Amino acid sequence: MKILITAGGTAEKIDDVRRITNSATGALGAMIANAFKADGQMHEITYICTEDAVRPDMSGVIICGDVNSVKEAVLSACSETEYDVIVHSMAIGDYRVRAVSDSALITEKVIERLSGLACGDSSSPEEAVRDALLSPPEIKENKISSEKEDLIVVLEKAPKIISMLRGLAPNAMIVGFKLLSDVSEDELARVGHALLVKNDCDYVLANDLKTIKEGRHDGILIARDGTYENVYGKEEIAALIVERSLNQ
């Protein structure tokens, strides 16, 4: 089979040395890739991961950083290959950096916009302030000085990679992932199935951050009809995903 796996946690650039990221390690994605390799059927695996992610024992890994680079890598991979299975385990950031500013620059922009209202600007005060806050003058330093008293990072919604997958691979078996924190199993199943339906996945692996922090990595693999199987530990999760892929 031709298999696409994504893993790790994206990182959005603030400046040349600072990033906004998450705690995803990519360990589960690497274990899934190794489990596919271990079944002896010579699958063709494309593995897209972030720079600091755990990597499987294979060559040809595609390294990405922010959400945009992941999007481009997925688009490129799917344009070149018709995948049988896509396992999207990467923890994509919900937001990306729109602008980096500080209070002095934003205050200056607010005053400028409000002054413009007195000179015939047709904007309302609310629109003027909102524009100043969401599109502020940006700090131009490649590495922002640590002497600054404050730093204001404006974020915007990032593109949802999972929402693209069915259109890119209409015949693939798609496995999505959903991470919640300290919720009941019923809630985990409800939210995970809603993600599955919204994005036309075949399965969603829903897991709880609380179990991961406690040294476990339990989860539930949810099918299209809403039924699910409990899995306990990364190895069992990887084995079940491989089994479902082979039996599709």
Neighbours of 86 (CB within 10 A): 27
User: What global pTM score does this model have?
Assistant: 0.91
| Residues 226, 231, 236: CA angle, nearest 5 degrees | 130
Element (H, E) at 225: none
How far is residue 44's CA from residue 58's CA, in Å, rounded to a whole number? 11
- Tens-level pLDDT at each residue, the chain (248 residues): 999 999 999 999 999 999 999 989 999 999 999 999 998 888 999 999 999 999 998 987 999 999 999 999 999 999 999 999 999 999 999 999 999 999 999 999 999 888 888 777 777 889 989 999 999 999 999 999 999 999 999 999 999 999 999 999 999 999 999 999 999 999 999 999 999 999 999 999 999 998 887 778 899 999 999 999 999 999 999 999 999 999 87
Tokens 């069915």 belong to 166
Domains along the chain?
Answer: 2-94+159-246 (3.40.50.10300), 97-157 (no CATH)
